[in-house]
């Protein structure tokens, strides 16, 4: 038997997808009846939609490639 009083409350919440659709699920997040609005979900994220991901690194990769792009490997 599990210890009493150490487990979080497991209750029903609503999840709102980026396109506005809503579904109910059970979670320990928030309180009973709360709505969790998602910023990223499988309908909009490039990992699931097959869209091109954009690298936002402040130009560090381009700077690295400019500086070291001409180097060749010493192992062959």
Between CA 76 and CA 70 the distance in angstroms is 16
In the predicted structure, residue 11 carries a pLDDT above the cut 90: yes
Q: How many residues does the chain have?
A: 76
What is the chain's Cα-based Rg? 23
Residue 52 pLDDT class (50, 70, 90 cuts): low
Residue 47: alpha-carbon gap to chain centroid: 10
Q: How far is CA 7 from CA 2, 14, 28, 29, 66, in A?
A: 9, 21, 9, 13, 53
Q: Which domain holds residue 17?
A: 1-41
Asked if residue 59 belongs to a domain, the reply is no
Residue 49 has pLDDT above 90, yes or no: no
* 76 occurs within a structural domain: no
**Does 68 map to a domain?**
no
CB distance 37 to 21 below 8 Å: no
| pLDDT at residue 67 in the model | 85
Q: Can you give the pTM of this predicted structure?
A: 0.56
Number of structural domains (the chain) is 1
Q: What is the pLDDT of residue 21?
A: 94
* Residue 23 located in a structural domain: yes
Listed in sequence order, the DSSP H helices in 28-70 are 46-49, 60-68
């Amino acid at each position: 038997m599990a210890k009493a009083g150490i487990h979080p409350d497991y209750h029903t919440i609503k999840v709102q997808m980026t396109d506005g659709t809503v579904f109910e699920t059970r979670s320990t997040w928030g309180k009973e009846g709360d709505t969790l609005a998602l910023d990223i979900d499988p309908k909009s994220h490039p990992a699931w939609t097959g869209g091109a991901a954009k690298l936002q690194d402040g130009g560090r990769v381009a700077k690295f490639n400019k500086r070291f792009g001409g180097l060749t490997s010493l192992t062959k």
